[in-house]
Structure 1
Amino acid sequence: MKRSDFLERVEAARRSLHHKYLCAIVSTAVFLAFAIYLTFASESFQRHYLYPFPYRDAVETYADRYRVDPYLAIAVIKTESKFQDDVHSHRGAIGLMQLMPDTAEWIAGQLEDPAYSVEAIHEPERNIRYGIWYLSSLQREFGGNDVLALAAYNAGRGNVQSWIRDNGWPPDFHNIDAIPYQETREYVRKVLLTERKYRSLYPAADGTGSGMKD
């Protein structure tokens, strides 16, 4: 092989290695840039598509009025209806917070709301108001215990009172696995996980769980 041919091949090999090296650097840089983008963009994506906060003004207004954590309230709404205000369950529950007509009528009496009707609880704001008030009343009934209050929201306060009596549950009961109904166990877990997600995505400036901003 001529010396010139040898040198030409060496130079070609060098150029090839240099090109591959540059391609590797560029690919790594692009991958890292994309990973960084996903890290910062993921919260925005989750807020807009996975954990949106519609009806925020109403939720915060009634959560403040009835002393309910707004993160818990929005988690209940998302779990109950996925923000579909016209949804009906097979059991007859209505709207965003899936209120049974009998329960809604009782709540309307407690709130002295003369505008109550079955049709009226389809209205998002009234449904939210009633649902948050009811959640507040369950929290008071069960000593501020969110596990018990959520279990009662799903399974009924009478069932939860029976479980407390029959099983000797203490006021600080938090053993979700001990809840007899599988549906209720899954419901309580889902709401609490969703509450934590909203708390991380919409941090309150004062740390109190109110006044949440993007």
Structure 2
Amino acid sequence: MKKLYPLKYSDIVYKYSREYDIDPYLVFSVIKAESNFNPDAVSHKSAYGLMQVTSTTGEWIAEQMKIEDFTLNKLFDPEYNIPMGCWYIDNLRKEFGDNMDVVLAAYNAGRGNVQKWLNDTEHSKDGKNLHYIPFKETDKYVKKVKVNYKIYKFLYDK
């Protein structure tokens, strides 16, 4: 099972999960769901690298993180991609709170979509939780990351 759920890039993951106070197993779970640990992954929506950061989001994150020499190719470098992905999860958590379902939905579908869903009683009864995610891909994504997380915790959290 540990071959299917590796702790690749653990030095970088542990460093930045500590810096941004994120459970490292969540970061491994996102990487597993996003790219299956392929640093050269490119999605059909033009998201790049381990944590599948899009070029526009990458540019914005680089600006926020004060990364001055950002280029699209850096998204293929785990030394850039993982810190940027961790920063982004933390940024979403600051907006949406510690509800990981909402944070993960925003990571996948964008914060604007999630804000709309939270403001719509069809998707959120209380404006804080999503009881229905209208994008099937995002609903599957959130569930996949949560399953990955449970497996990582089971395998490695001793």
Q: Same fold (TM over 0.5)?
A: yes
Contact 2:61 2:88 in 1 (8 A): yes
CA distance in 1, matches of 2:152, 2:111: 26
Query: Residue 25 of structure 1 corresponds to which residue in structure 2?
Result: none
In terms of Rg, which structure is larger?
Answer: 1
Q: Tell me the amino acid that sits aligned with residue 173 of structure 1.
A: N
Query: Residue 53 of structure 2 corresponds to which residue in structure 1?
Result: 99
CA drift at 1:116: 0.9
Query: Residue 173 of structure 1 corresponds to which residue in structure 2?
Result: 129
Deviation digits for residues 11-36 of structure 1 (CA, Å, limit 9, x no counterpart): xxxxxxxxxxxxxxxxxxxxxxxxxx
Match status 1:61 vs 2:21:
no
CA distance in 1, matches of 2:104, 2:94: 12
Query: Residue 149 of structure 1 corresponds to which residue in structure 2?
Result: 103
Q: Tell me the amino acid that sits aligned with residue 186 of structure 1.
A: K
CA drift at 1:174: 5.5
Structure 1 consecutive aligned stretches of length 4 or more whose deviation exceeds 3 Å: none
Contact 1:154 1:184 in 2 (8 A): yes
1:11-160 aligned within 5 A? 46-47=1-2, 49-160=3-114
CA drift at 1:80: 0.1
Q: Tell me the amino acid that sits aligned with residue 70 of structure 2.
A: Y
For the aligned residue pairs, the C-alpha RMSD in angstroms reads: 1.3
Unaligned runs of 5+ in 1: 1-45, 205-214
Match status 1:200 vs 2:154:
yes
Unaligned runs of 5+ in 2: none
CA distance in 1, matches of 2:77, 2:69: 11
Contact 1:75 1:198 in 2 (8 A): yes
The percent of aligned pairs where both chains have the same amino acid is 44
When the two structures are superposed, what TM-score results if normalisation uses the length of structure 2?
0.94
Query: Residue 136 of structure 2 corresponds to which residue in structure 1?
Result: 182
Q: Tell me the amino acid that sits aligned with residue 170 of structure 1.
A: D
When the two structures are superposed, what TM-score results if normalisation uses the length of structure 1?
0.70
CA distance in 2, matches of 1:114, 1:170: 40
Aligned residue pairs total 156
Q: Tell me the amino acid that sits aligned with residue 99 of structure 1.
A: V
Which structure shows the bigger proportion of residues in helix conformation? 1
CA drift at 1:115: 2.3
CA drift at 1:172: 5.2
| Higher RCO structure (Cα 8 Å, ≥6 apart) | 2
Contact 1:145 1:171 in 2 (8 A): no
